[in-house]
Amino acid sequence: MIYVYVIECKTPNHYYIGLTADYERRIRRHKEGGGARFVKVHGFKRVVRVEFYELYYYAKERELKLTEYFIHTYGIENVAGAHYSQVLKGKLLKEPTRKS
């Protein structure tokens, strides 16, 4: 089972969309200040949505669609998830690894 979830951050109108096979462990990490950098920066307020899928492909597809919806609604600088996780306020959080 793969879970797709949406976290509302303490910073108003900031959301994180993620997916995991171990929902309880992942949410606990977010609450403790671990996990995604975006949630560390903006704080964990609450989980506002949880969905589950049998196949990873469908969960990943849904994560992307939810992320795009939240970006359209709240702005790209206020949302992280799917492949948008590397961007925070227009800046890369970490340099991509380069193959030699």
Which stretches in the chain have pLDDT values below 50?
88, 92-100
CA atoms of 68 and 60, how far apart (whole Å): 12
Note whether residue 29 is domain-resident.
yes
Is 53 part of any domain?
yes
Residue 92 has what pLDDT? 47
6 phi and psi angles, rounded to 5 deg = -125, 125
Buried (b) or exposed (e) across 69-79, using 16+ Cβ within 10 A?
A: ebbeeeebebb
Domain membership flag for residue 30 = yes
Residue type, 23: Y
Q: Quick check: is 100 in a domain?
A: no
Domain assignment of residue 13, yes or no: yes
Structural domain count of the chain = 1
pTM here?
0.82
pLDDT of residue 86: 53
**Contact of 19 with 54, CB cutoff 8 Å:** no
Which residue range(s) make up the domain with 35?
Answer: 2-92
Does residue 97 belong to any structural domain of this protein?
Answer: no
